[in-house]
Structure 1
Amino acid sequence: MTSLAPAAPSVGGRVDPDAATALALLNCAVRELCAPEHQVRVGDGHLMVRLPRVGVTLRAVLRRPPLMSPRLAGPIEERRDGWVAVDWRRITDLIAGELELTTGTPNPEFTAQVTASRDAMELFGRRRTPRDADPFLSSEQSLLAGHRFHPSPKARQGADWPAYAPELGARFPLRWLAVRTDAVVEEGDASLLDRLGPPVRAGYRVLPAHPWQLALLRPESDAIVDLGPYGPEAVPTSSVRTVYVPDAFLKFSLDVRITNCVRKNAWYELSGAVALTRALRPVFDGLACELLTEPGYRTVSVGGTRLREGLGVIVRDGVRGLPGTPLLAAAIADPDGDSPAAVSRLLGDDPAPDRVLAWWDAYVGHVVPPVLHAYLRHGVVLEPHLQNVLVAVDGDGTPVRAVFRDLEGTKLLPGPWKSFLAELPEPVARALTYEPEHGWNRVVYCLFVNHLAEVAAALADRQPSLEPALWRVVRRHVTRCADDTPADTDGAARLRALLAGVPLPAKANLRTRWARDADRQATYVPVPNPLAESLA
Structure 2
Amino acid sequence: MHRPPTTDAGIAEELAAVRPGLLPRYTARLPGARAAVLTRLWRALAHEPLPWLAGRVSGAHGLALRLADGRTLYGPPADPYATGAYVGAVRLDRERYDDPARLVAALGVRHSSAFAAELAHSVASLALSRAGADHPREWPAGVRLAEGPGEDWEWERRVVDGHPFHPNCRSRPGFSVADQLAYGPEHGPVVELGTVPVPAADCLLSGDWPDELRDGKRLLLPVHPWQAAHVLGRSYDVWRPARPLMSLRTLALPGGPHVKTALSARLTSSVRDISVSSVRSAAALSAFAEDLAARTDGLLHITRTLGAATAHSPDLAALLRESPQVYAGPGERVVPVAALATTSLPGSPAWLAAFTRLALAVGLRLLDLGVALEAHGQNLLVVLAADGSPLRLVYRDLADIRISPARLARHGIAPPALAGRLITDDDTALRRKLFGSLVAGALAATAGSGPALGAALATALPDFAPTPDLAALRHGPLPAKALTLMRLDPETPGDRWTSLPNPLVLERGRSDQ
Please tell me the TM-score bracket, short chain as reference. Answer: 0.7 to 0.9
Distance 1:174 1:135, change over 3 A: closer
1:440-459 paired onto structure 2 within 5 Å? 440-457=431-448
Distance 1:54 1:240, change over 3 A: farther
Partner deviation per Cα, 1:255-296 (whole Å, 9 max, x = no partner): 221111110111111122322112121110121111113232
TM-score calculated relative to the size of structure 2: 0.80
1:449-528 paired onto structure 2 within 5 Å? 449-457=440-448, 467=451, 471-483=454-466, 492-499=467-474, 501-516=475-490, 521-528=494-501
TM-score calculated relative to the size of structure 1: 0.77
Which of 89, 94, 98 is matched with 1:76 structurally? 89
1:193-204 paired onto structure 2 within 5 Å? 194-195=211-212, 197=213, 202-204=216-218
Which of 361, 364, 374 is matched with 1:372 structurally? 364
Partner deviation per Cα, 1:304-356 (whole Å, 9 max, x = no partner): x4xx32221111121233232111211223xxxxxxxx133x47xxx7xxxx1
Whole-Å Cα distance in 2 between the matches of residues 325 and 20 of structure 1?
Answer: 29
- Give the superposition deviation at 1:58: 3.8
- Which residue of structure 2 aligns with residue 343 of structure 1? 343
Which of 353, 357, 372 is matched with 1:361 structurally? 353
Whole-Å Cα distance in 2 between the matches of residues 84 and 107 of structure 1?
Answer: 18
Aligned residues: 460
**Are 1:243 and 2:251 counterparts?**
yes
- Which residue of structure 2 aligns with residue 119 of structure 1? 124
AA aligned opposite 1:529: N
- Give the superposition deviation at 1:40: 3.6
- Which residue of structure 1 aligns with residue 99 of structure 2? 87
SS state at 1:234 partner: strand
Whole-Å Cα distance in 2 between the matches of residues 14 and 111 of structure 1?
Answer: 16
Contact 2:207 2:282 in 1 (8 A): no
Contact 1:18 1:88 in 2 (8 A): yes
- Give the superposition deviation at 1:242: 1.2
What root-mean-square deviation, in Å, do the aligned CA atoms of Structure 1 and Structure 2 show? 3.3
Whole-Å Cα distance in 2 between the matches of residues 183 and 134 of structure 1?
Answer: 40
1:25-44 paired onto structure 2 within 5 Å? 25-33=41-49, 38-44=55-61
- Give the superposition deviation at 1:472: 4.2
Which of 428, 432, 436 is matched with 2:422 structurally? 432
Distance 1:91 1:51, change over 3 A: farther
1:367-406 paired onto structure 2 within 5 Å? 367-376=359-368, 378-406=369-397
**Are 1:218 and 2:232 counterparts?**
yes
Whole-Å Cα distance in 2 between the matches of residues 271 and 238 of structure 1?
Answer: 25
Distance 1:52 1:209, change over 3 A: same
Which of 164, 175, 199 is matched with 1:159 structurally? 175
Distance 1:400 1:181, change over 3 A: same
AA aligned opposite 2:300: C
Distance 1:421 1:297, change over 3 A: farther
SS state at 2:48 partner: helix
- Give the superposition deviation at 1:153: 1.6
- Give the superposition deviation at 1:61: 4.8
Distance 1:188 1:73, change over 3 A: same
Contact 2:195 2:220 in 1 (8 A): yes
AA aligned opposite 1:117: S
AA aligned opposite 1:315: L
- Which residue of structure 1 aligns with residue 145 of structure 2? none
SS state at 1:406 partner: coil
- Give the superposition deviation at 1:529: 0.9
Contact 1:247 1:320 in 2 (8 A): no
SS state at 2:64 partner: strand
Distance 1:15 1:393, change over 3 A: farther
Whole-Å Cα distance in 1 between the matches of residues 352 and 413 of structure 2?
Answer: 37
- Give the superposition deviation at 1:454: 2.0
- Give the superposition deviation at 1:190: 2.9
Contact 1:15 1:145 in 2 (8 A): no
AA aligned opposite 2:184: A
Whole-Å Cα distance in 2 between the matches of residues 22 and 227 of structure 1?
Answer: 41
- In structure 1, runs of 5+ residues without a counterpart are 1-9, 101-105, 221-225, 334-341, 461-466, 484-491
Whole-Å Cα distance in 1 between the matches of residues 441 and 416 of structure 2?
Answer: 34
- In structure 2, runs of 5+ residues without a counterpart are 1-25, 137-147
AA aligned opposite 1:495: L
Distance 1:421 1:311, change over 3 A: farther
Whole-Å Cα distance in 2 between the matches of residues 398 and 375 of structure 1?
Answer: 25
